[in-house]
């Protein structure tokens, strides 16, 4: 319990630092006033607007004011959307979450079996092919892959829609576009692009861990005891590869949010990533600040969860042996 509490305090400090760094950076994103007013607006009017938005105050004062408001749940009003930032995020977050979930599930479903297989039959032809493909997956930039997929499946074959999010349906009390065919067809290409990198990384990690564990003494003993292959591979070997793999998956899931920026842009997916790009273009500081805090939150929470899962799957941590 104490362990988790300490982590929570750490997380809060991290969040405060993230917001502070954000505010220092905002000085360089440009002048939001210029993107709000037209070319004919007089110099005095611009100055008055800048003053009323509090942009002339020292940066630390702006930061303090922001933190005080944010603690009370008020993230301000977006300059460019004229709407509550929290409302904006509530609007866009589901789209990103469903994309991240779909690609996360896709990559795990493919990476775990493929990783185990290539770990066991590492000299086989299929394993070699999978490994070669995974190198491509890790190294091809997502914007390029996205545009390629659009060219092939939308422009040439006309099978899948090239942009946007499809129809939304409510199921199990959740609103998601993954519950309709139209929605799924829209989500398929962006999810595939987003999953490819994760797929490569997790697959290679599982393979490497399997190779390492399979060399250990207790596996040799297991073979010597005449245990069936299935039992040796899955019960004894796989279970012990999980600790580093869970860490990696936790971190990868949070970086999916970060990677989704480019994918969302290419497929015009109305999620958090495209919101961020819009905010940067418009120097929309309240929106930028909220996004930074949100991403900080995703990373800290996923780290917390990974820490908690560690305790569950590795008894050595629970008993203080490590």
**Distance between start and end Cα atoms, the chain:** 17
Please state the closest distance from residue 168 (CB atom) to another protein, in A: 11
Please state the closest distance from residue 178 (CB atom) to another protein, in A: 17
Q: Does 186 bind another protein (CB under 8 A)?
A: no
Q: Does 45 bind another protein (CB under 8 A)?
A: yes
Please state the closest distance from residue 53 (CB atom) to another protein, in A: 6
Q: Does 275 bind another protein (CB under 8 A)?
A: yes
Q: Does 40 bind another protein (CB under 8 A)?
A: yes
Please state the closest distance from residue 146 (CB atom) to another protein, in A: 8
Q: Does 230 bind another protein (CB under 8 A)?
A: no
Tell which residue, 262, 251, 245, 240, has the closest CA to residue 299: 251
Q: Does 91 bind another protein (CB under 8 A)?
A: yes
Helix (H) or strand (E) holding 258: helix 239-267
The span from the CA of 77 to the CA of 44, in Å, is: 23
Q: Does 4 bind another protein (CB under 8 A)?
A: no
Q: Does 41 bind another protein (CB under 8 A)?
A: yes
Contacts (CB under 8 A) with another protein, residues 142-171: 147, 150-151, 154-155, 158, 161-165
Q: Does 265 bind another protein (CB under 8 A)?
A: yes
Tell which residue, 14, 9, 16, has the closest CA to residue 68: 16
- Binds another protein (CB under 8 A): choice among 39, 72, 139, 230: 39
- Give the contact letters, 189-228, x = binds to another protein (CB under 8 A), - = no: ----------------------------------------
Contacts (CB under 8 A) with another protein, residues 19-38: 28-31, 34-38
Q: Does 77 bind another protein (CB under 8 A)?
A: yes
Nearer to another protein (CB atom), residue 263 or residue 302? 263
Q: Does 266 bind another protein (CB under 8 A)?
A: yes
What is the number of other CB atoms lying within 10 angstroms of the CB of residue 102? 21
Strand stretches in the chain, DSSP E: 169-171, 174-176
Q: What angle do CA 177, 178, 179 make, to 5 degrees?
A: 90
Q: Does 97 bind another protein (CB under 8 A)?
A: no
The span from the CA of 202 to the CA of 242, in Å, is: 11
Q: Does 136 bind another protein (CB under 8 A)?
A: no
What is the number of other CB atoms lying within 10 angstroms of the CB of residue 57? 13
**Long-range Cβ pairs for the range 64-69 (8 Å, 24+):** 66/19, 66/23, 66/289, 67/16, 67/19
Q: Could you write out the three-class secondary structure of 105-121?
A: HHHHHHHHHHHHHHHHC
Please, are residues 29 and 283 in contact by the beta-carbon 8 Å criterion? yes
The span from the CA of 29 to the CA of 280, in Å, is: 7
Please state the closest distance from residue 95 (CB atom) to another protein, in A: 9
Question: What residue has token string 């861990």?
Answer: 209
The span from the CA of 322 to the CA of 305, in Å, is: 19
Q: Does 93 bind another protein (CB under 8 A)?
A: no
List residues near another protein by CB under 8 A.
28-31, 34-43, 45, 49, 52-53, 77, 79-84, 91, 147, 150-151, 154-155, 158, 161-165, 265-268, 270, 274-275, 277-278, 280-283
């Amino acid at each position: 319990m104490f362990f988790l509490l300490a982590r929570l305090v750490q997380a809060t400090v991290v969040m405060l630092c993230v917001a502070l760094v954000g505010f220092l950076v905002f000085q360089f994103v440009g002048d939001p006033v210029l993107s709000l007013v037209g070319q004919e607006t007089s110099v005095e009017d611009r100055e008055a607007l800048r003053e009323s938005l509090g942009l002339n105050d020292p940066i630390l004062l702006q930061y303090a004011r922001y933190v005080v408001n944010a603690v009370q749940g008020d993230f301000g009003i977006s300059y460019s959307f004229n709407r509550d930032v929290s409302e904006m995020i509530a609007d866009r977050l589901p789209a990103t979450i469903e994309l991240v979930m779909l690609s996360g599930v896709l990559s795990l479903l493919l990476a775990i079996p493929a990783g185990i297989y290539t770990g066991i039959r590492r000299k086989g032809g299929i394993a070699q092919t999978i490994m070669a493909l995974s190198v491509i997956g890790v190294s091809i930039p997502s914007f390029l892959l996205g545009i390629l997929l659009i060219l092939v499946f939308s422009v040439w074959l006309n099978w899948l829609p090239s942009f946007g999010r499809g129809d939304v349906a409510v199921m199990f009390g959740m609103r998601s576009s993954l519950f309709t065919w139209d929605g799924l067809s829209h989500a398929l290409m962006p999810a595939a692009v987003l999953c490819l990198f994760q797929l490569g990384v997790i697959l290679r990690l599982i393979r490497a861990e399997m190779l390492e564990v399979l060399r250990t003494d207790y596996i040799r003993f297991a073979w010597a005891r005449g245990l069936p292959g299935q039992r040796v591979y899955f019960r004894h070997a796989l279970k012990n590869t999980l600790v580093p793999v869970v860490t990696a998956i936790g971190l990868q899931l949070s970086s999916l949010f970060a990677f989704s920026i480019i994918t969302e842009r290419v497929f015009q997916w109305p999620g958090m990533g495209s919101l961020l790009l819009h905010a940067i273009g418009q120097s929309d500081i309240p929106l930028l600040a909220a996004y930074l805090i949100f991403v900080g939150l995703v990373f800290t929470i996923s780290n917390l969860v990974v820490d908690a899962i560690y305790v569950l799957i590795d008894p050595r941590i629970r008993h203080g042996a490590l």
